[in-house]
């Protein structure tokens, strides 16, 4: 039996003008459902044979969001796929990451899927999901707040990020601060003058990671006060 896997949230995200910020289908948007059907049908086509198994990824429920919205999202996608002759089976995005990446650890660990509108997390033990949830603060949220911190446009941050994303990107971002006329840029130059460049990169990367953690954990915004404000504070 042939099997396929499609990221359902990714399909939904392509129709973002018809979707809420959580990147799930909105039952009040009738036109949005038509768009999603077209987006699914064009790349997949009909099943090669009736009942062909197809797995699709769905987001886990978010804290503080009505579960009915996620049920509607999953059910609608399931029906769209069934109309094409598939036997659809849903899997949470975080668990899909566990299955795809944690085979060497007996599928035990934490799977994290970071998208534009949501971050999905799943803790699994021996392939069994123990807890799954999503957070409606992800790539778009980080881009917007990062742009606010450096007084730039969110699209500019996104383009630079997607040009060469790496998990050690904090250090690359910190290194780019040495010419920025911001508080973070001034902090980098201050450490570099007093210590050395390598320590300045590490210290600035740590500060960036802390700011992003506070944004995601507590929704604490960051308002850059500018390079001059930091210089005055250092002299005081």
Domain identity same for 113 and 216: no
Q: What is the pLDDT of residue 91?
A: 94
| Residue reference for tokens 């990147």 | 23
Phi, psi of 22 (to 5 degrees): -75, -5
pLDDT tens, residue by residue, 27-53: 777 777 888 888 888 888 999 999 999
Task: Give the DSSP letter string of 111-174.
Answer: EEEE-SS-EEEEEEETTEEEEEEEES-SHHHHHHHHHHHHT--HHHHHHHHHHS--TTHHHHHH
Domain identity same for 146 and 178: yes
Most confidently predicted of 23-27, 33-37, 174-178: 33-37
Domain identity same for 200 and 163: yes
Domain identity same for 211 and 188: yes
Last residue of a domain, one of 135, 161, 179: 135
Q: What is the pLDDT of residue 193?
A: 87
Phi, psi of 199 (to 5 degrees): -65, -35
Among 222, 195, 219, CA closest to 208: 222
Domain identity same for 166 and 101: no
Domain identity same for 166 and 64: no
Contacts of 20 (CB under 8 A, 6+ apart): 26
Domain identity same for 94 and 10: yes
Contacts of 42 (CB under 8 A, 6+ apart): none
Domain identity same for 53 and 73: yes
Domain identity same for 24 and 36: yes
Last residue of a domain, one of 106, 135, 164: 135
Contacts of 184 (CB under 8 A, 6+ apart): 149, 150, 177, 204, 207, 208, 224
Domain identity same for 145 and 94: no
Domain count, the chain: 2
Most confidently predicted of 40-49, 166-175, 202-211: 40-49
Last residue of a domain, one of 96, 118, 135: 135
Q: Which domain holds residue 22?
A: 3-135
């Amino acid at each position: 039996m042939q099997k396929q896997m499609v990221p359902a949230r990714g399909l939904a995200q392509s129709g973002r003008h018809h979707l809420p910020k959580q990147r799930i289908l909105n039952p009040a948007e009738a036109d949005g459902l038509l768009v999603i059907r077209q987006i699914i049908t064009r790349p997949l086509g009909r099943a090669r044979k009736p009942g062909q198994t197809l797995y699709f990824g769905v987001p886990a429920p978010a804290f503080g969001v009505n579960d009915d919205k996620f049920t509607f999202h999953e059910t609608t996608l399931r029906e769209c796929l069934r109309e094409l002759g598939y036997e659809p089976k849903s899997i949470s995005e975080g668990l899909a990451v566990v299955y795809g990446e944690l085979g060497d650890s007996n599928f035990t660990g934490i799977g994290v899927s970071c998208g534009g509108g949501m971050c999905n997390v799943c803790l699994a033990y021996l392939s069994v999901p123990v807890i799954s949830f999503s957070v409606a603060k992800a790539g778009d949220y980080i881009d917007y707040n990062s742009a606010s911190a450096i007084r730039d446009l969110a699209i500019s941050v996104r383009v630079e990020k997607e040009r060469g994303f790496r998990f050690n990107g904090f250090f690359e971002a910190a290194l780019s601060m040495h010419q920025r006329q911001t508080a973070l840029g001034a902090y980098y130059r201050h450490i570099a003058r007093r210590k050395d460049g390598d320590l300045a990169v590490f210290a600035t990367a740590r500060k960036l990671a802390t700011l992003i953690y506070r944004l995601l954990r507590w929704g604490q915004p960051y308002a850059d006060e500018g390079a001059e404000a930091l210089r005055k504070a250092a002299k005081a």
